[in-house]
Amino acid sequence: MRWFDPLLDVLFPRSCLACGRDLCGGPWPWLCPACLARIEPPPPFPCPVCAGPLGPFAMPSACASCRRLRPRFDACVAAGGYEGTLGELVVRMKYGKDADLAWPLGELLADTLRLWAPLREVDVVVPVPMRFMKRVRRGFNQSEALAAEVARRLSLHLYRFVLRRGRAGPAQAGLTLAKRLVAQRRSMVV
């Protein structure tokens, strides 16, 4: 906490990004304790590749989704479950065209990544590209905004134009993990 933060709280009171309640003196600069408690934690024993639930004694090769669909990435990590506050904020950022949510969501993701063992092998952050017309409709690429914030917080380079979109796939909203992995395999070209 900086010495002038209490003064800023008086002059420009902060409110919870999820529910709008006053945040003066709260532990997080963007969520009240009640909304923070509504962030579902990631599964306790996640698959190291897809971050889906595995179980306490399962080998990483036991993930049925990864065996069947063979993702085109080596590993991923989840900052939390999509239900509750986190899901609401992600949906608001994407479909509510709220680019300002990139900094708090980027902070949450960067904090999660700092605890992730494979991070030491990461050199760059690459956002998922967006189709031109979808970007025009939304006004920004939420993946790029979030990736830029994560790269800044972790002092990594951001490479915006490494990936390009292949053929159009289905919208990811509402898809299961398995269907998302199938869509990802079909739509991304390196």
Reported pTM: 0.75
Residue 145 has pLDDT above 90, yes or no: yes
Q: Which residue has the higher pLDDT, 27 or 39?
A: 39
Assign 150 a pLDDT band (cuts: 50, 70, 90).
Answer: very high
Residue 140 has pLDDT above 80, yes or no: yes
The predicted structure's pLDDT at residue 158: 94
List pLDDT tens digits, range 48-68.
888 888 877 777 677 888 888
Residue 25 has pLDDT above 70, yes or no: no
Instruction: Provide the mean pLDDT of the chain.
Output: 80
The predicted structure's pLDDT at residue 159: 92
Q: Are 158 and 151 in contact (CB under 8 A)?
A: yes
Q: Can you give 91-138 as a three-state secondary structure string? A: HHHHHCCCHHHHHHHHHHHHHHHHCCHHHHHCCEECCCCCCHHHHHHH
CB count in 10 Å sphere of residue 145: 19
Which of 42, 81, 46 shows the shortest CA–CA distance to 62?
46
Looking at this protein, which amino acid is placed at residue 106?
Answer: G
The predicted structure's pLDDT at residue 124: 92
